[in-house]
Structure 1
């Protein structure tokens, strides 16, 4: 097993000689890019993906269990409100709210939390990514 020092070494070389604030920005950018390979936040593609995700939340009936701002008739009270979900620290109170975790949660809720009441809807990865992109806009 490699030590954490072995992983930190390339990052040190990358930011060596830069100002502390710039170093932090470089590291944060790398961390964000590493965690979101197929999500295109902040681009026209991300907007189209989010719009498709909103459409999918309607088609799959997510509003029958969740209150979802911006989705007509999405006033369910079985599951938690999805208002401001893009700002939450955790999904279901157990998984850090990060794009890849959201995708995994949407594809297999019980895999993330065996006690969740959320049903497995049989979403494809593409559908889960689109819904995740939409939910990330709810901030």
Structure 2
């Protein structure tokens, strides 16, 4: 099965699937609204996700009356929201009760703390516990 992100459709097929003229797709590419992948010869290759975005651009433009600058911003914000939702789900898997403990290393990357490296730390009032100089996310236990 082909991924939704696989750039497989040439511009004429993508235009037909999106219900647009190929020149419109070229314009959207130049404006950075929908940026397809490129083949070796620099020809545009559209994915199913690109085609869905093209349909959304058309809907926002025709049905909602939003200009292309507004549409570009909407699509960018939707992309950011999707990325943040994936990040929240990734972090939530670590932070759920009974799950692994993790820390942030000096570069800011999330690192799981091995059971052998865990230790019980009693935080000083107003301070958070640390692990080798890094912040450990923790939940206080009810007393």
Pairwise same-fold verdict (TM > 0.5): no
Query: Which has the larger helix fraction?
Result: 1
User: Shorter chain as normaliser: what TM range?
Assistant: under 0.3
Q: Report the TM-score, using the length of structure 1 for normalisation.
A: 0.24
Q: Report the TM-score, using the length of structure 2 for normalisation.
A: 0.23
Query: Which has the larger strand fraction?
Result: 2
